């Protein structure tokens, strides 16, 4: 797609629009890491150029002003590509949702991820496939899902990013929901610390579904941010990283 004056958008700009369409916002740090090149000043100028051209605009909340969301020309691009786009997310969700999305973007670029959807995308599409029944609490979606590209199979993987610990009751309900869900080949918990991982493991023991031991794995937040394809994947005997797991399925 081209600007009004005829200049074509760069591939990096189009990629960034697709990312924001899926996630709902993009911080400057993510722009610098995933979508821009050159010196810091040049990267800043590139982003400002896209803001000036109404591809992006600053988040409307003063608390999210360091992040950008889709503007009018960005929406035109999304429509021309026949993509869907999610609503702008609240500032206090940006770090969580962006962390999930950035890791999946890296997996896509590594060739391990065929296709991915964020929770916001599943909600806007009202997807019935990936809904988790939380019993008296209604239903929820995973933070994201993706197709893991194996050698012979492409199972659906659910991603849950746990930044802060929840109650045992909450985790028991979540693990029970995954025990009763058959859409997911694997469930990966990205955890902020060991204590959260141990709490989830206790919930797995409480639910007592032995099948979950071959489906649930754990990834540290540091590894997810650095290199989700090769970082240590704990809890699964089939593979100690996503790369190894993909080579065996």
pLDDT along the chain (249 residues), means of 10: 66 96 96 95 95 93 78 95 92 94 98 95 90 82 95 92 93 94 95 97 95 95 98 92 94
Domains 11-80 and 92-247 share a fold: no
**SS3 readout for the chain:** CECCCCCECCHHHHHHHHHHHHHCCEEHHHHHHHHCCCCHHHHHHHHHHHHHCCCEEECCCHHHCCEEEECHHHHHHHHHCCCCCCCCCCHHHHHHHHHHHHHHHHHHHHCCEEEEEEHHHHHHHCCCCCCEECHHHCEECCCEEEEECCCCCCCEEEEEEECCCCCHHHHHHHHHHHHCCCCCCEEEEEECCHHHHHHHHHHHHHHCCHHHHHCEEEEEHHHHHHCCCCCCCECCCCCCCHHHHHHCC
pLDDT of residue 9: 86
CATH for 11-80 (2.60.40, 3.40.50, 2.40.128, 1.10.10): 1.10.10
**190-to-44, 72, 193, 194, 225 alpha-carbon distances in Å:** 30, 34, 9, 11, 10
pLDDT of residue 147: 96
| Interatomic CA distance for residues 12 and 248, integer angstroms | 33
pLDDT of residue 150: 86
Domain extent listing, the chain: 11-80, 92-247
**pTM for this predicted structure:** 0.92
**CB burial readout 49-65, b (16+ within 10 A) else e:** ebeebebbbebeeeebe
Quote the tokens at residue 98: 């962006």
Whether the Cβ atoms of residue 200 and residue 235 lie closer than 8 Å to each other:
no
pLDDT of residue 14: 96
pLDDT of residue 5: 52
Q: 92-247 is classed in which CATH architecture?
A: 3-Layer(aba) Sandwich (3.40)
């Amino acid at each position: 797609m081209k600007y009004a004056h005829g200049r074509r958008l760069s591939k990096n700009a189009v990629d960034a629009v697709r990312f924001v369409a899926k996630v709902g916002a993009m911080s400057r740090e993510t722009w610098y890491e995933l979508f821009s090149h050159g010196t810091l000043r040049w990267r800043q100028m590139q982003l400002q150029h896209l803001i000036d051209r109404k591809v992006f605009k600053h988040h409307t909340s003063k608390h999210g002003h360091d992040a950008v969301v889709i503007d009018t020309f960005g929406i035109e691009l999304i429509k021309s590509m026949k993509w869907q786009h999610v609503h702008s997310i609240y500032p206090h969700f940006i770090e969580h949702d962006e962390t999930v999305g950035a890791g999946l973007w890296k997996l896509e670029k590594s060739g391990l991820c065929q296709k991915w959807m964020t929770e916001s995308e599943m909600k806007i599409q009202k997807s019935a496939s990936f809904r988790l029944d939380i019993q008296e609490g209604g239903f929820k979606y995973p933070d994201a899902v993706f197709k893991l590209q194996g050698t012979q199979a492409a199972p659906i993987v659910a991603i849950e990013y746990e930044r802060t610990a929840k109650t045992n009751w909450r985790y028991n309900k979540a693990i029970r929901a995954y025990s009763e869900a058959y859409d997911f080949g694997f469930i990966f918990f990205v955890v902020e610390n060991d204590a959260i991982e141990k709490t989830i493991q206790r919930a797995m023991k409480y639910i007592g579904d032995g099948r979950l031991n071959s489906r649930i794995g754990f990834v540290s937040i540091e590894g997810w941010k650095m290199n989700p394809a090769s970082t240590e994947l704990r809890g699964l005997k089939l593979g100690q990283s996503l790369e190894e797991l993909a080579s065996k399925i």
